[in-house]
Structure formats: structure tokens, C-alpha cells
Structure 1
Amino acid sequence: MAPALLAYTAVRAFGLLAMWLHPKSALPGVSNSTLTRLATLWDAPYYQMIAVHGYSDDLGIDGYENGVPYSSRAFFPFYPMAIRAVHAVLPITAGHAALLVAWFFSLVAAAGIFAVVAHVYRPRIALIAVVLWGALPHGAVESMAYSEPVFTAWAAWSLYALLRRNWIWAGALSCMACLTRPSGLAVAAAVGITAAVELVQFWRGRRNGADRPVVWRVLLGTALAPAGWFGYLAYVGWQRGTWRGYFDVQLAWGTHFDFGRGTLSWMSGMILHPDSKGTTLDQVVMVGIVVASVVLFLLAVEQRQPLPLLVFGGMMLVIALGDGAYFAPRARFLLPAFVLLLPVAAGLSRIRSRVSLWVLLSSAVVCSGFYGVFLVFESVYSP
């Protein structure tokens, strides 16, 4: 695992170096410094606001729905709680605490990805998968003050526990994922569906001896898995006085589940009726990521990957592509779906020439690094 963590650190270090060398990072004013940009872009300040001041139902900005104000309750609590803890212990700003938490969990996530892939395949494929995850087009998000690295860490280790049939740990880690992002439901679904299949096979007599599950552990892990998600929604509903509290908050932010209609609309509009002002790099990359993600999931199904990974990958696709918000965040939503990289990692592992493999992976790292510079300093859209 150590080589994988060193490789991942090198990948993200290159991305940070490319940002630091960008001309805008040297302009006068702290707002242009690399660390400040990473800590204050788009949604990042909201996490720090929650960490320092707690939740608020009125951020002073009218939302999309009937002028209802934006509420910080749209953001799940674990990441801001972790920021608050680090900020209380270390003499650093909330922004730097947010980065420290994100960077720490990105390493935990890389370790979890390695553990999952090495369990299913072998260490060589796991090492490649870790490098690919760090070198994704939106890999820069792994270095930002965002909750995706934290969520990926919980998700990866929950899946690892699930693959080893450690039901209580899988459920507890899934609960933490559900306290980190709404897409924690994808992890909970992986635990629940895998548990259901396991119990059905047991009751049909297909699980005997060492393979026989301890039913109460399976049931407890299944119950724990979505507890964080339902618990937070219940808390927001109680605070706002309606069971729809969280969904009302999300609607004000322009977010709702529309079964993919919004995704199809902007993709078809961009391809068939491009904007007269021209297509942006963000849009091209976004379409490529969406198409590639669907194709990779179909390949994973064809390769008959383990059920927990297929359920997690499929649910992450459903959640990301079914979101009715504007197009930009979809690649970020799919960032934790590392299981979609397994077909690519397995294919690259068959390259016998180490030089050829090194060139391909290095090229991906360089492209990711420079696209990360674009996301941080040039893009007008939220990553």
C-alpha cells in the first residue's frame, strides 16, 4: 500500500505545483494565492461557516424557489464538524483546517481504494487505480476544501469491509458516509442489497459452514448503513418543522431529483443546439466524463465485478445524472465513484512495457494537473 500512497501523493503534488506556478497565483492579494483559492472556491466557504458559526436557515441570498433564502443545512454535517475540531485544536484558520481535513481524508481514500481493488484483483491493478483516481480530470477537487475526499474515504473502506463480509464495520462506515454527503445512500444501498442477497442465499441453503453469515450482524450492519442519512434528514425536518425540510432546502439551491431529464436536456442541447457564444472546455469535458462513466459501468457489469461495487457504481451514476441542478457539478458528484475506474486499471495492467505504462499514466497526470489549474483559476463554473 505504501507505494500507492506515495504515487498518489506525487500525483496531487504535481497538481498543486502546477497551480502554484500559474501566473495568477503570484498576483498581489491573498485571494489569488493557491491555498486561499483552494480553501475559498464556490461551496468551500459554506463548510467553514458551518464549522465556525453553526447552521443557518438564511444566508442572506435568495434561492431558486419562490425567493426562499439559501440555507446551509443543504450541507451534511461530518465535514464541517471535522473542520471545527481541527480548527479548535490547531492554531490555523478555518480555511486551512478545511484543507488539512480534505487532504488527510484524500490519503485515507487512496488507501481504501487500494485495499478494495487489491482484494478484488491484485496490487498492481490497485496501484494503477489509485493513480488514475488522483489523475481524474476533476482530481483537483481532491485538493480543495470540499467533502468529496472525505466521502470517498468512508465509501471505500465501507466497501472493503463489505467485500470481507464484516457487516457491522461496513454499516458503521456507511453511516459515516451518509453523514458526509447525500450520495451516502449509494454506499447504504450497496450494504443493503448485498446483505439481502446474502440472506436469501443463506435461507435457500447456499451458505453453509464458513460461508454461513451471522444473521444478527448482517441485520445490524444493514440498519446502521443508512442511519446517518435518515438521521440528518430527520434533524433538518425537525428544525424546519416539516418532514420535507431538507428537500425544501435543496430546492432553494436549485437541486432536485428529476430522473435524468435535466442531464439529457443540457447534453442534447449542447450537442444539437450549441450556444452561439461557443462551447466551453468545461462542457466538453463534462460530456466526455458522463459518457465515459456510463460506458465504464456497462463494462464493469460485463466483467461481473462483485455485487457491492456494481451497486455502488450504479447508484452513484443514478444520483449524479438524476440531479436536476445545472450541469457543472456532475463530474464532481462522480469523483467518488472510483469503482468505475476498475476496467481501465485492469486494461492498463496488461501492458507489459513499464515505460509505456509510465508514459500513459504520466500523460494523464499532466493533463489532470493543467485542467486543475483551469478549474481553480479560469473556469466560471463550480467544479
Structure 2
Amino acid sequence: MTDLETRVAPRGLGAAASALLGYAAVRALGLLVLAVWSAARDKSAYTLLTARWDSLWYTRVAELGYGYEVRLPNGDVHSNLAFFPLLPWLERLLHTTTPLSYAGAGFVVSLLASLAAAWGIFAVAAHVYGRRAGLYAVLLWAVIPVGIVQSMAYSESLFTALAAWSLYAVLTGRWLTAGTLALLAGLTRPVGLAVVAAVWAAGIAALLRERAGTAPSAHHRSTAPIGGAHPDEHAPSPARHLPPDGAPAWRCALGMLLAPLGAAGYVLWVGHRTGSGPLGYLDVQAGWRNGFDGGYAFARFIAEKFTSFPSALAGLALIAGVALLVRLHVVCVRQRQPLPLLVYAGVVTALALCASSYFGSKPRLLLPAFPLLLPLALALARLRTRAAALVVGGVAVASAVYGAFWLNGSGPP
């Protein structure tokens, strides 16, 4: 075993301190630009963050419970049963125990969850590729164009935090923790299925290795502690791509059993409440014109952009964006990302692109797919610090301006 493999990095919050400070700085910049932009338009930045679109639906669930719906003139029924319960539960808990309003509670939950998500992303990336790559993975997640959503009273930050730490638990062989966090992720968003799939894929692989007697040897086990790995390693290494052996098989199996209970429990409850059977949740989503059509509606939406020259540019940009996502997936595979990360990012991307929902929301739906950022984080980690800082700083400014413009627009993010 080499010197590099035996080095142990600082564990816990201390290892992630730089990443979290950088993340907080980027988000603070985004909020500052939003406040200035909104004030210039006689709007309240706080209202934009806490009391528009989905955030209103979450606070209604927190305050009034389920059962609220809106019937549109075209016959569509928008029911608040479409919104999973964990965020409203937390909003209600914080409202009950503090002077915060429901909207304020949602904002605080989102802010705290975004920090937990950043920490979880650092833990995953540092565990696989080293602490320097972990730092840039967090910064890249902060500066993506729709990063302002991380500070809204939406469920994306909460979901990403649960997903990231569940994936980290899988990578380090903590199966009960992984299953419990996957359960909670399944109570947060429908895309919780991606976390369940990742836990199951890793669990099945681990059980098959154990049955075949081919569990990774001590030389191939992960030696990285919580919150970090080997700070000078930038290249992928199979040494950390399998959960460490030694955990009893029953823990792995129990973690796998726990993982789907959150999503399955809520979906079955909705079906029972609506009297529509086990898949009644799909009927609720249909009322919002949401569904899974394999990407047909999205492809048709892109094709319609080419009916005129100005909109054709938007169509080309959408095609380029999808091509970039595919390219990043290919690179992730070539760099031998751990199986649970590949499965998780693949399912998140597939659900986002192949859903027939509001197309303007697709960038937001892709927000939790942070493993796709790891190839870019590795590239930044290989640059000199000054050059990487200039790149991240420039993108952070552009992201802050775009987020303020986007949130002050008419359509929901």
C-alpha cells in the first residue's frame, strides 16, 4: 500500500470548512444581486424566495394539511397531494417551535438544507476523488445557473442533502444510514426513486460479491473517513469505488428494505385517500399535466422551436444542453465513478428529461444530479488555484445575475 493510500485526512466539518465557506459566499452573492435587482423593480426578494409558485403550495400543506386543490377553466385539477410531505412537516415543526411564519420556516429549512447538501456533496466527491475535487464540486453546484433555487423555500436543497448523504453512506458501507436517508428522500420528492435505485444497485452488487466470495480485499477498501479522502489525489481510483466489506449482510438487506418505504408509503397513502388505487398518485400528477412519456413531449417542444429563426436559437441551445448532459454521463462512466453515483445521476436525469411536465422547470429538476459535476470538478482541481478561482468567480457572478433575472420573470423556475 502506498504512502498516499495510507494517509488519513481530517474528518468531519473541519475537512469541509473551506468548501462550505465558499458555498456560503456564492449563495450570499446570489442573494445580494437578487435583492438589488428586485428592489430596482419594486419587488421583494424575500417574497420571491418564499411565497411564489411551489413554495406557496408547500406552505399551504404545512398550514392546512392535504386536501386543497384548484380547478382550472380547462378542467385540470391542481391538487396539493402532488407535493411530498417532508418539507411541509419541517415547516410546520419550525413554525410551531419558533416565531417564524410558515414561509419563513420554509426559507430557513432551505438555507440549512443547502449547507447540508453542500457538505454532503463535498463528502462524496472528496471520498472518491480527494478533498480538492470535493471543494470544486461544491462550488460548481453553487454556481450553476439555477443555483438560486437552493435558497428558495423549495424542496431541492432538502432532497439533495438527503441524497448526497445517503450516497456517502452507501460508499462507506453504512447501509442502515443509507436506507434511512433514502426513505426520507422518498418523502421529499418523487425523484427519491433515484436514491432508492442507487441503494439497491450498490446493495445487490455488494451481496453478489459476498456470495461469490469476491469482496474487496483490504488493499482495495476505502480508507477515507467522514468528510474527506486523500487531498492530493485528482485521478479516479478503483480503491474507493466499492463499499468496504465487513458489514453484515443483514445490514445491507435491511438498508435496501428501508430505502423505498418513504416514497412507497406516500404514494400508497395518496391512492387510498383519493380512492384511485395504489397508483392514484399518477392521477394526481396527471391533473398537473405531469407524466412520464420517455421524452416525447420534450422532443416535440424542442422541435417546435425551429418554426422560426429567433426561437431556433433556443432550440439549438436546448439540444446543446442535452448533448452536454449525455457527454458528462459518458465521462462519468469512463472515469469509473462508483456504481451508486452513476445510477443515481442517470435516474435523476432520465426522470427530468423524460417527464412531460412544465419544460421551464427542467433545469431545476436536474439540480440534484450533482455527480455529473464531478468531471468538471476534477478538471478544475488540476488547474492552478488562481486560474480555478477566476473561473469559479466569473461563473458565480454570471449565475447571480441570471438567477436574479430568472426569479424576477413571469414563469416559475
Q: Does 1:382 align with 2:406?
A: no
Could you tell me how far apart the structure 1 residues matched to 2:268 and 2:405 are?
39
Give the aligned partner of residue 39 of structure 2: 25
Q: Which digits, 9 at most, give the CA deviation of each residue in 1:209-230, with x for residues without a partner?
A: 7724411111100011111000
Find 2:373's aligned residue among 304, 320, 341: 341
Could you tell me how far apart the structure 2 residues matched to 1:293 and 1:345 are?
15
Could you tell me how far apart the structure 2 residues matched to 1:13 and 1:283 are?
32
* Secondary structure of the structure 2 residue equivalent to 1:76: coil
Give the aligned partner of residue 10 of structure 1: 25
Give TM-score scaled by structure 2 length.
Answer: 0.86
| Distance verdict in 2 for CA 1:53–1:287, change over 3 Å | farther
> Contact between 2:117 and 2:157, CA under 8 Å: does it hold in 1?
yes
Give 2:332's aligned amino acid.
A
Q: Does 1:224 align with 2:224?
A: no
Q: Which digits, 9 at most, give the CA deviation of each residue in 1:203-248, with x for residues without a partner?
A: 1121277724411111100011111000000110110112232110
Give the aligned partner of residue 191 of structure 1: 199
Give the aligned partner of residue 179 of structure 2: 171
* Secondary structure of the structure 1 residue equivalent to 2:71: coil
Q: Does 1:302 align with 2:297?
A: no
* Secondary structure of the structure 2 residue equivalent to 1:329: helix
Deviates more, 1:111-120 or 1:204-213: 204-213
Could you tell me how far apart the structure 2 residues matched to 1:12 and 1:280 are?
33
Give 1:50's aligned amino acid.
V
> Contact between 1:113 and 1:338, CA under 8 Å: does it hold in 2?
yes
Could you tell me how far apart the structure 1 residues matched to 2:122 and 2:351 are?
24
Q: Does 1:261 align with 2:296?
A: yes
- Matched residues, percent identical? 42
| Distance verdict in 2 for CA 1:204–1:336, change over 3 Å | same
> Contact between 1:294 and 1:317, CA under 8 Å: does it hold in 2?
no
| Distance verdict in 2 for CA 1:86–1:259, change over 3 Å | same
Give TM-score scaled by structure 1 length.
Answer: 0.92
Q: Does 1:355 align with 2:386?
A: yes
Give the aligned partner of residue 400 of structure 2: 369
Could you tell me how far apart the structure 1 residues matched to 2:318 and 2:145 are?
9
Alpha-carbon distance, 1:146 to partner: 0.5
Alpha-carbon distance, 1:26 to partner: 4.7
Give 2:39's aligned amino acid.
S
Give 1:140's aligned amino acid.
I
* Secondary structure of the structure 2 residue equivalent to 1:176: helix
* Secondary structure of the structure 2 residue equivalent to 1:328: helix
Give 2:300's aligned amino acid.
S
* Structure 1, gaps ≥5 residues long: none
Alpha-carbon distance, 1:364 to partner: 0.9
Could you tell me how far apart the structure 1 residues matched to 2:70 and 2:252 are?
46
Q: Does 1:242 align with 2:257?
A: no
Alpha-carbon distance, 1:381 to partner: 2.3
Could you tell me how far apart the structure 1 residues matched to 2:323 and 2:200 are?
28
Give 1:239's aligned amino acid.
R
Find 2:118's aligned residue among 90, 110, 123: 110
Alpha-carbon distance, 1:357 to partner: 1.1
Q: Which digits, 9 at most, give the CA deviation of each residue in 1:38-93, with x for residues without a partner?
A: 1122111000000000011x4233387xx252110000000011111111111122
| Distance verdict in 2 for CA 1:368–1:63, change over 3 Å | farther
Give 1:12's aligned amino acid.
R
Give 1:53's aligned amino acid.
L
**What is the correspondence of 1:53-132 to structure 2 with a 5 Å cutoff?**
53-56=64-67, 58-62=68-72, 67-132=75-140
| Distance verdict in 2 for CA 1:92–1:306, change over 3 Å | same
Alpha-carbon distance, 1:294 to partner: 1.9
> Contact between 2:303 and 2:315, CA under 8 Å: does it hold in 1?
no
| Distance verdict in 2 for CA 1:156–1:366, change over 3 Å | same
Could you tell me how far apart the structure 2 residues matched to 1:157 and 1:234 are?
26
> Contact between 2:110 and 2:153, CA under 8 Å: does it hold in 1?
yes
Give the aligned partner of residue 233 of structure 1: 267
Could you tell me how far apart the structure 1 residues matched to 2:166 and 2:302 are?
33
Q: Which digits, 9 at most, give the CA deviation of each residue in 1:135-188, with x for residues without a partner?
A: 001001001111000000000000000000111100000000000000000000
Please tell me the root mean square deviation across aligned C-alpha atoms, in Å: 1.9
Could you tell me how far apart the structure 2 residues matched to 1:129 and 1:208 are?
27
> Contact between 2:267 and 2:281, CA under 8 Å: does it hold in 1?
yes
Count of aligned pairs = 371
Give the aligned partner of residue 58 of structure 2: 47
Could you tell me how far apart the structure 2 residues matched to 1:280 and 1:41 are?
30
* Secondary structure of the structure 2 residue equivalent to 1:171: helix
> Contact between 1:159 and 1:309, CA under 8 Å: does it hold in 2?
yes
Give 1:97's aligned amino acid.
A
Could you tell me how far apart the structure 1 residues matched to 2:29 and 2:318 are?
23
Alpha-carbon distance, 1:289 to partner: 3.9
Could you tell me how far apart the structure 2 residues matched to 1:167 and 1:359 are?
40
| Distance verdict in 2 for CA 1:16–1:37, change over 3 Å | same
| Distance verdict in 2 for CA 1:208–1:342, change over 3 Å | closer
* Secondary structure of the structure 2 residue equivalent to 1:70: strand
* Structure 2, gaps ≥5 residues long: 1-15, 219-244
Deviates more, 1:86-95 or 1:120-129: 86-95
Could you tell me how far apart the structure 2 residues matched to 1:37 and 1:110 are?
23
Alpha-carbon distance, 1:35 to partner: 0.7
Give 1:113's aligned amino acid.
I
Could you tell me how far apart the structure 2 residues matched to 1:190 and 1:235 are?
24
Could you tell me how far apart the structure 2 residues matched to 1:138 and 1:280 are?
22
> Contact between 2:81 and 2:270, CA under 8 Å: does it hold in 1?
yes
